[in-house]
Amino acid sequence: MNTSAELLVDARNGVGESPVWDAQRQCLIWVDIPGRSLWCWNASTGQTRQWPTPEMTGCIALLDGSEVEPHGRWVAAMETGVAVLTPLEKGTVELEHLAPVQHPQTGMRFNDGRCDRQGRLRAGTMVSDMTLAAAVGRVYALNGGVLSSLLSGMITPNGMAFSPDGRTMYLSDSHPQVQTVWAFDYDTDTGTPHRQRVFIDMKPLPGRPDGAAVDEDGGYWICANDAGLVHRFTPDGRLDRSLAVPVKKPAMCAFGGPGMDILFVTSIRPGGDLADQPLAGGVFALRPGVRGLDEPKCFL
C-alpha cells in the first residue's frame, strides 16, 4: 500500500481548512480562512476554482437540497455568524445571513466545525490572536436558524468529528497550552454532548491536534500541526499509525474520492522562510488503506 502524499493543488493557502468531499459533483471544497476564499478542485477535470467571501470562514457544510446549483450551496460559519454561500459561475458568491453570533469579546471568529450524523451544524469559535490564549471560545449548535452555546471555556476548539454511529463526539483544543482531544457521549435525539473525558493527550506526541475525520471503522484521523503528520487513533484512543505530508502544518483532513478511500489534507502557509517546505498551504491526497464516510448534508 502506497501511503505517500501526493500534491493535489499548490494552493498556497494561508490556512486551508474544512475540506468537504461533494460526491454528487465529484469535487473537493475547502476554505482559506485568512484568504477569505472558497476553493473547489474538480476530480473529473483536475481544474481548480476559487470564490472570494466577504468574511473569514472557519468551516463549511453542504446544504441539503442544493443539488441543482452547479457548485452547491454551503452553510458557512464565519466571523459574525452563520450564513449560506452560493458560488456562482461568474466567480462571485451570493450570501444569505442565517444566524448572528454574539461573541464574548472582540477579535473572534468561527473555527473548526461540521455536521453531526443527523445533519445539524456544530462549530467552535476562537480569538483570532492565539498568543492571547483567551479561553473564551465556545462550541455552538445551529438549530432552526438559531445559535445556542453547547460548550465554553476553550481557547482553540478544533478536531470535531463523530463516530460512525453518531453517538460519540470528538473535540480538541489545539492551543499549545492544552493539546488535548476529548470524547463525549452524544445524544443523537437532542444533539447535545455530555460525559466529557480525555480521549488523547497530545502533549507527549508529535504535533498539536488540528482538524480531524473518522473512517468507517471508527478510526479517528487528526492532523498533527507543526509535525507534518496525520495520526490515526483507534476508537479506544491507541495511536495506530502516522502518515507524513511534506509540510509542517497540516490543518484538516477529509475522506473522499469515488471510493471514499482518499484522505485529503489541507495545510497552512506560515510567513517567513519556506525553503524547507515550498508546498506549504497546499492540498494533498493520501491512500491510507481505509475508507471514510460520506459527510452529512446540513439540514436547517
pLDDT digits (tens, 9 = 90+) for 172-198: 999 999 999 999 999 999 999 999 999
Q: Which DSSP letter does residue 108 get?
A: E
pLDDT value at position 275? Answer: 87
> Is the pLDDT at 133 greater than 90, yes or no?
yes
Q: For residues 100 and 77, what is the distance between their CA atoms, to the nearest angstrom?
A: 10
pLDDT per residue as tens digits for the range 209-259: 999 999 999 999 999 999 999 999 999 999 999 999 999 999 999 999 999
DSSP per-residue codes, 123-145: EEEEES-GGG----EEEEEEETT
Res 117 pLDDT > 60:
yes
Q: Which pLDDT score, from 0 to 100, does residue 218 have? A: 98
pLDDT tens track for 22-66: 999 999 999 999 999 999 999 999 999 999 999 999 999 999 999
Give the mean model confidence (pLDDT) for residues 116-128. 98
Residue 104: what residue type? P
Q: How far is 157 from 224, CA to CA, in rounded Å? A: 15
Instruction: Quote the percentage of the chain above a pLDDT of 90.
Output: 96
Domains (ranges, CATH) in the chain?
6-286 (2.120.10.30)
Q: Is the CB of residue 30 less than 8 Å from the CB of residue 8?
A: no
The DSSP annotation for 160-217 comes to: EEE-TTS-EEEEEE-STTT-EEEEEEEETTTTEEEEEEEEEE-TTSSSEEEEEEEBTT
pLDDT band (50, 70, 90) for residue 273: confident
* Residues 81-97, mean pLDDT to the nearest whole number: 97
Cα distance between residue 275 and residue 285, in whole Å = 22
pLDDT at 2 (0 to 100): 60
Report pLDDT for 155: 98
pLDDT in tens, 137-169: 999 999 988 999 999 999 999 999 999 999 999
The mean pLDDT value for 272-283 works out to: 93
pLDDT score, position 272: 83
pTM for the model: 0.97
Angstrom distance (rounded) from CA 269 to CA 13? 6
Q: Residue 172 has which C-alpha cell?
A: 480538541
DSSP symbols for 2-59: ----EEEE----SBEEEEEEETTTTEEEEEETTTTEEEEEETTT--EEEEE-SS---E
Euclidean distance between CA atoms 32 and 277, whole angstroms: 18
pLDDT classification of 271: cutoffs 50, 70, 90: confident
CA distance readout (Å), 248 to 206, 207, 267, 276, 298: 11, 9, 8, 9, 32
At 49, list the grid cell.
476554482
